[in-house]
Protein backbone atom coordinates (compact mmCIF):
# COMPACT_ATOMS: atom_id res chain seq x y z
CA UNK A 1 0.00 0.00 0.00
CA UNK A 2 2.15 2.79 -1.32
CA UNK A 3 -0.69 5.25 -1.83
CA UNK A 4 -3.31 6.31 0.72
CA UNK A 5 -6.98 5.94 -0.03
CA UNK A 6 -8.53 9.22 -1.17
CA UNK A 7 -12.32 8.96 -1.00
CA UNK A 8 -12.61 12.09 -3.15
CA UNK A 9 -11.25 10.06 -6.06
CA UNK A 10 -13.96 7.45 -5.66
CA UNK A 11 -16.97 9.48 -4.53
CA UNK A 12 -16.74 12.91 -6.15
CA UNK A 13 -17.02 13.31 -9.91
CA UNK A 14 -17.66 17.07 -10.03
CA UNK A 15 -15.72 18.73 -7.17
CA UNK A 16 -16.90 22.29 -7.88
CA UNK A 17 -20.55 21.18 -7.79
CA UNK A 18 -20.43 18.63 -4.96
CA UNK A 19 -21.51 19.29 -1.38
CA UNK A 20 -21.88 17.37 1.84
CA UNK A 21 -25.19 17.62 3.69
CA UNK A 22 -26.04 16.18 7.11
CA UNK A 23 -29.52 14.63 7.37
CA UNK A 24 -32.03 15.35 10.12
CA UNK A 25 -35.20 13.30 10.37
CA UNK A 26 -36.48 9.88 9.39
CA UNK A 27 -38.52 10.42 6.23
CA UNK A 28 -36.04 8.47 4.06
CA UNK A 29 -35.21 5.64 6.46
CA UNK A 30 -36.41 2.85 4.12
CA UNK A 31 -34.01 4.18 1.48
CA UNK A 32 -31.13 3.67 3.92
CA UNK A 33 -30.87 7.37 4.79
CA UNK A 34 -30.91 7.92 8.57
CA UNK A 35 -30.81 11.00 10.77
CA UNK A 36 -27.19 12.03 11.20
CA UNK A 37 -26.05 10.54 7.88
CA UNK A 38 -23.97 12.60 5.50
CA UNK A 39 -25.17 12.88 1.91
CA UNK A 40 -22.87 13.59 -1.00
CA UNK A 41 -24.92 15.82 -3.30
CA UNK A 42 -23.97 16.67 -6.88
CA UNK A 43 -25.54 19.91 -8.11
CA UNK A 44 -24.28 19.44 -11.67
CA UNK A 45 -26.48 16.40 -12.35
CA UNK A 46 -29.91 16.73 -13.91
CA UNK A 47 -32.50 15.22 -11.59
CA UNK A 48 -34.32 12.30 -13.17
CA UNK A 49 -37.38 10.30 -12.23
CA UNK A 50 -36.74 8.17 -9.11
CA UNK A 51 -33.54 10.03 -8.12
CA UNK A 52 -33.15 10.93 -4.46
CA UNK A 53 -32.80 14.70 -4.41
CA UNK A 54 -32.25 17.56 -2.04
CA UNK A 55 -35.02 20.02 -2.82
CA UNK A 56 -36.05 23.38 -1.46
CA UNK A 57 -39.80 23.68 -0.92
CA UNK A 58 -41.08 27.04 0.29
CA UNK A 59 -37.69 27.85 1.79
CA UNK A 60 -37.22 24.49 3.57
CA UNK A 61 -34.67 21.87 2.54
CA UNK A 62 -35.94 18.30 2.19
CA UNK A 63 -34.55 14.97 0.98
CA UNK A 64 -37.03 12.88 -1.02
CA UNK A 65 -37.34 10.64 -4.06
CA UNK A 66 -38.40 12.58 -7.15
CA UNK A 67 -41.27 10.97 -9.05
CA UNK A 68 -43.05 12.14 -12.17
CA UNK A 69 -46.57 10.79 -12.61
CA UNK A 70 -47.97 12.02 -15.90
CA UNK A 71 -47.75 15.80 -15.87
CA UNK A 72 -47.44 15.92 -12.06
CA UNK A 73 -44.25 15.97 -10.00
CA UNK A 74 -44.09 14.46 -6.51
CA UNK A 75 -41.55 14.24 -3.68
CA UNK A 76 -41.89 10.79 -2.12
CA UNK A 77 -40.62 9.91 1.36
CA UNK A 78 -39.27 6.43 2.10
CA UNK A 79 -41.22 6.06 5.34
CA UNK A 80 -44.90 5.09 5.53
CA UNK A 81 -45.43 7.63 8.32
CA UNK A 82 -45.15 10.44 5.75
CA UNK A 83 -47.20 11.31 2.68
CA UNK A 84 -45.86 12.29 -0.76
CA UNK A 85 -45.89 15.98 -1.60
CA UNK A 86 -47.18 17.11 -4.96
CA UNK A 87 -45.18 20.00 -6.36
CA UNK A 88 -47.60 22.71 -7.47
CA UNK A 89 -47.05 25.98 -9.34
CA UNK A 90 -47.93 27.88 -6.15
CA UNK A 91 -44.91 26.45 -4.35
CA UNK A 92 -41.47 28.00 -4.26
CA UNK A 93 -39.65 24.88 -5.47
CA UNK A 94 -36.14 24.10 -6.62
CA UNK A 95 -34.10 20.92 -6.92
CA UNK A 96 -30.86 21.76 -5.16
CA UNK A 97 -28.97 18.62 -6.15
CA UNK A 98 -28.97 14.86 -6.69
CA UNK A 99 -27.85 12.54 -3.88
CA UNK A 100 -25.06 10.31 -5.20
CA UNK A 101 -23.83 8.67 -1.97
CA UNK A 102 -24.91 8.22 1.64
CA UNK A 103 -22.35 7.90 4.44
CA UNK A 104 -23.50 6.55 7.78
CA UNK A 105 -21.99 4.82 10.74
CA UNK A 106 -22.87 1.20 11.43
Using alpha carbons, select from 72, 92, 94 the residue that is nearest to residue 84. Answer: 72
Q: What is the mean pLDDT of residues 87-98?
A: 97
Catalytic residues: 27, 64
Per-residue HEC secondary structure of 54-93 comes to: EEEECCEEEEEEEEEECCEEEEECCCCCCCCEEECCCCCE
Q: What is the pLDDT of residue 1?
A: 55
pLDDT band at 3 (very low <50, low <70, confident <90, very high): confident
Is pTM, for the whole model, over 0.95? no
Q: Which domains does the chain have, with CATH numbers?
A: 15-103 (2.10.109.10)
Task: Name 31's Cβ contacts closer than 8 Å, sequence gap at least 6.
Answer: 52, 65, 78
Question: Contact, 65 vs 78, CB < 8 A?
Answer: yes
Amino acid sequence: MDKGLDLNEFLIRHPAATFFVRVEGDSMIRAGIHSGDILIVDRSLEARNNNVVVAVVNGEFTVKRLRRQGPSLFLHPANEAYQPTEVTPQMDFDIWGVVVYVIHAV
